[in-house]
Amino acid sequence: MDDRKNIYTIAKELNLSPSTISKALNNTGSINEMTRQRVLNYIKDVGYVPTASARKLKSKRSYTIGVIFTEESNVGLEHSFFSSILQNFKTYIENKGYELAFIVTKLGQHQMSYYEWCLNKRVDGIYIVVGNYQDKGLYELVGKGIPCVSTDMILSGIHTVISDNEQGVSLVLNYIKDHLKKTEIAVISGPKSSKAFEERVTLCKTIGQTLGFNLVDEKIEFAESFGFTSGYQGAKRLLSRLDHLPEVLFVTSDDLALGVIKYLEDQKIDIPGQVQVIGFDDIAFARHFTPPLTTIRQDKTNLGMTAGKLLIDLIEQPELHIPTIHKCPVELVIRETTQEAAQ
């Protein structure tokens, strides 16, 4: 076989497009079955092995990363924060020659565990974008020794890349104290099932106490889920039990915060005149909402790419000593849902 053959030279010889050759090799896309067989028969005759396949045979790796979005978390791929991290992770690992495969526990009528799926696909590593601590299948999987990275869960057997929540909460509370000059704050958080939300609330209490905020449990509301509607309902429950409006609402995710803002507007509560609102994430829509949201910016590019680099290091250099938790810095972005006190 001519070693210089590739999908472009094959495409020219068969008078087809390179994309058609790629679809035939990878069994993807909608091409005529006769054309697919023509391509497959040709590469068999000339002995062509795609570069990725040759590399897999030589290294005995699959160059495949299994991806988990735990269904029980009710967080779909449309979630703006997690989907952005996943996209940056995907970009990084694909540039390194790996491909993604979503791990599912049901194929047709066949039920399997995460671990069984990973064995079937021979994945080299696992990326848990978001997981549920009640999902027993995850505990089984991470206990099997497959390299595993998450941007959500903190568990033995997982290397975790997360934002520096302590830095973020400290930035928010010091901004409220020193610039907004407010003392009455309340918190609306995502569900307790998320360790990130739980940590942010705990930090609000401990850091708030050192700064002189009286953040009692009555002023903290845990939303039922992660999205806009949960934020709306969380604000409704919180404000219905308080005898007066807080001066500032700190909401531990932007998706929730946008729902909180909508509830306040529906109740004719002026933002930031009566209540100021601060979020956490800096999702793309936060700057375009009315009013634009003051928030903590998590570096989604850094989170995704760091997770990708870490996982490939674990796969390719297992002898390396890598810390199990990596924290990425955050920053405060000031917009129109807050208003600094006059000097």
In this structure, are 145 and 173 located in the same domain?
no
Q: Of 245, 255, 250, which is closest to residue 177 (Cα–Cα)? A: 250
pLDDT at 1: 42
Domain match, 100 and 19 both = no
294 token code pair: 């003051």
Q: How far apart are CA 178 and CA 169, in angstroms?
A: 14
In the DSSP assignment, the letter for residue 226 is S
Q: How far apart are CA 141 and CA 117, in angstroms?
A: 10
**99 Cβ contact list (under 8 Å, min separation 6):** 63, 64, 65, 93
Confirm if 280 and 253 have CB atoms less than 8 A apart.
Answer: yes
DSSP sequence for 123-179:
-SEEEEEE--TT-HHHHHHHTTT--EEESS---TT-EEEEE-HHHHHHHHHHHIIII
Looking at the fold, whether 263 and 315 belong to one and the same domain comes out as no
Q: What is the pLDDT of residue 2?
A: 47
Same domain for 189 and 294? yes
Close Cβ partners of 211 (under 8 Å, ≥ 6 residues apart) = 173, 174, 177
Same-domain pairing of 191 and 254: yes
84 and 208 fall within a common domain: no
Residue 304 burial (CB count, 10 A): 25
Task: Show pLDDT as tens, one digit a residue, over the chain (343 residues).
Answer: 445 667 778 888 888 887 788 777 766 667 888 888 888 888 878 777 665 555 554 556 788 999 987 654 455 566 678 888 999 999 999 888 888 988 877 666 667 888 888 888 889 999 998 887 888 888 898 888 899 999 988 888 899 999 999 999 999 999 999 999 999 999 999 998 888 899 999 999 999 999 999 899 999 999 998 889 999 999 999 999 999 999 999 999 999 999 999 999 999 999 999 999 999 999 989 999 999 999 999 999 999 999 999 999 999 998 888 899 999 999 999 999 999 988 6
In a domain, 53, yes or no: no
**CA dihedral (277, 247, 224, 301) positive or negative:** positive
Same domain, 79 and 14: no
Is 182 part of a structural domain of the chain?
A: yes
Are residue 221 and residue 238 in the same domain, yes or no?
yes
- Domain containing 104 equals 64-161+301-326
Residues 89 and 214 in one domain: no
Residue 330: CB atoms within 10 A of its CB come to: 25
- Are 278 and 176 within one domain? yes
Give Rg (Cα) of the chain: 25
- Burial class of residue 129, CB neighbours in 10 A (0-12, 13-18, 19+): buried
CATH code for the domain of 19 = 1.10.260
287 within domain boundaries: yes
Strands 185-189 and 220-222: parallel
Distance CA 90, CA 100 (A): 7
Q: How many domains does the chain have?
A: 3
> In this structure, are 213 and 263 located in the same domain?
yes
DSSP state at residue 320: S
CA-closest candidate to residue 285, choices 79, 87, 88: 79
Beta strands across the sheet bearing 248-251: 220-222, 185-189, 248-251, 276-281, 294-298, 330-333
Which CATH number covers residue 77? Answer: 3.40.50.2300
